[in-house]
Structure 1
Amino acid sequence: MPDSRLLDAQTARGLPWVVAIAFFMQSLDGTILNTALPAMANDLNEDPLRMQGVIIAYMLTVALLIPASGWIADRFGTKKIFFGAILLFSFGSLLCALSHSLDMLIGARVIQGLGGALMLPVGRLVVLRAYPRSELVRIMGFITIPGLLGPLIGPVMGGWMVQYLTWHWIFLINLPVGIVGCYAVWRFIPDLRGKERSRFDTLGFLLFGAAMLLITVAMEGLGELHLPHLRVMLLLFGGMACLIAYWLRAGRIDQPLFSPLLFQTRTFAIGLFGNLFARLGSGALPFLVPLLLQVALGYSPSQAGMSMLPLAAAAIMAKSVARPIIERLGYRFVLTANTLALGLMLASIGLVNEHTPYWLLLGVLAFMGAINSLQFTAMNAVTLIDLDDASASSGNSLLSVVGQLSLSLGVACAGALLGGFSANIGSDNAATVLGAFQLTFVTVGVMTMLAAVIFSQLSKDDGRLISDS
Structure 2
Amino acid sequence: MPLPASRTVPLIVAAALFMENLDATVIATSLPAMARDLDLSPVRLNLAITSYMVAMAVFIPASGWLADRVGARRVFVGAIALFLTGSVVCGSAPSLGILVAGRLLQGLGGAMMVPVGRLILLRSVPKAEMISAMAWFTMPALLGPLMGPPLGGFITTATTWRWIFWINVPIGLAGMTLALTLLPPIAERERTPFDGLGFLTSATGLAFLVFAFETAGRDVVSPLVGVAAAAAGIGLIVVYVRHAHDVARPLIDLELLAIPTFRVAVIGGSLFRIGVGALPFLLPLQLQVGFGRSALESGLTTFVAAAGALLMKATAGRILRAFGFRRTLLINAVAASVLLGAVGAIGASTPMVVVMTLLLAGGFLRSLEFTAINVIAFADIDAEAMSRATALSSMVQQLSLSSGVALGAMTLHLLSPDGALPSSGDFSIALAIAGAISALAFLSFRRLGAEAGEALLGRPTPATDTDAA
Compute the TM-score of the two structures, normalised by the length of structure 1: 0.88
Preserved contact between residue 332 and residue 369 of structure 2 (Cα < 8 Å)? yes
CA 1:101 to 1:201, structure 2 compared with 1: closer, same or farther past 3 Å? same
SS at match of 2:153: helix
Preserved contact between residue 283 and residue 407 of structure 1 (Cα < 8 Å)? yes
Does residue 443 of structure 2 align to residue 443 of structure 1?
Answer: no
AA aligned opposite 2:358: V
Please list, as runs of the form range in 1=range in 2, the aligned pairs for 1:157-306 lying within 5 A after superposition.
157-182=151-176, 193-222=187-216, 226-306=220-300
Structure-1 residue corresponding to 2:67: 73
Please list, as runs of the form range in 1=range in 2, the aligned pairs for 1:364-403 lying within 5 A after superposition.
364-403=358-397
Preserved contact between residue 73 and residue 193 of structure 1 (Cα < 8 Å)? no
The one-character-per-residue Cα deviations of 1:142-177 (angstroms, maximum 9, x if unpaired) are: 554431211110111111000111101101111233
Structure-1 residue corresponding to 2:326: 332
Structure-1 residue corresponding to 2:341: 347
* Identity among equivalent pairs (%): 37
Preserved contact between residue 50 and residue 224 of structure 1 (Cα < 8 Å)? no
Preserved contact between residue 218 and residue 414 of structure 2 (Cα < 8 Å)? no
Preserved contact between residue 55 and residue 111 of structure 2 (Cα < 8 Å)? yes
Does residue 24 of structure 2 align to residue 24 of structure 1?
Answer: no
CA 1:246 to 1:344, structure 2 compared with 1: closer, same or farther past 3 Å? same
Preserved contact between residue 63 and residue 391 of structure 2 (Cα < 8 Å)? no
Q: Distance in 1 between matches of 2:67 and 2:288?
A: 42
AA aligned opposite 1:344: V
Q: CA deviation at 1:362?
A: 1.1
SS at match of 1:435: helix
Structure-1 residue corresponding to 2:447: 457
Q: CA deviation at 1:139?
A: 6.8
Q: Choose the corresponding residue for 1:84, options 72, 75, 78.
A: 78
SS at match of 2:246: coil
CA 1:74 to 1:395, structure 2 compared with 1: closer, same or farther past 3 Å? closer
Q: CA deviation at 1:53?
A: 0.5
Preserved contact between residue 78 and residue 190 of structure 1 (Cα < 8 Å)? no
Preserved contact between residue 85 and residue 106 of structure 2 (Cα < 8 Å)? yes
Q: CA deviation at 1:320?
A: 2.6
SS at match of 2:377: helix
Mean alpha-carbon deviation: is it higher for 277-286 or for 264-273?
Answer: 264-273
AA aligned opposite 1:66: I
Preserved contact between residue 223 and residue 412 of structure 1 (Cα < 8 Å)? no
Preserved contact between residue 51 and residue 224 of structure 1 (Cα < 8 Å)? no
SS at match of 1:196: coil
Does residue 104 of structure 2 align to residue 110 of structure 1?
Answer: yes
Q: Distance in 1 between matches of 2:12 and 2:328?
A: 35
Q: Distance in 2 between matches of 1:260 and 1:309?
A: 37
The one-character-per-residue Cα deviations of 1:349-404 (angstroms, maximum 9, x if unpaired) are: 22222221121111111111011111111222332223344434322321111111
CA 1:73 to 1:171, structure 2 compared with 1: closer, same or farther past 3 Å? same
Mean alpha-carbon deviation: is it higher for 177-186 or for 295-304?
Answer: 177-186
Aligned residues: 457
CA 1:225 to 1:257, structure 2 compared with 1: closer, same or farther past 3 Å? farther
Compute the TM-score of the two structures, normalised by the length of structure 2: 0.88
Q: Distance in 1 between matches of 2:331 and 2:132?
A: 31
Mean alpha-carbon deviation: is it higher for 241-250 or for 189-198?
Answer: 189-198
Preserved contact between residue 281 and residue 447 of structure 1 (Cα < 8 Å)? yes
Q: Distance in 1 between matches of 2:10 and 2:316?
A: 25
Q: Distance in 1 between matches of 2:169 and 2:387?
A: 32
CA 1:102 to 1:392, structure 2 compared with 1: closer, same or farther past 3 Å? same
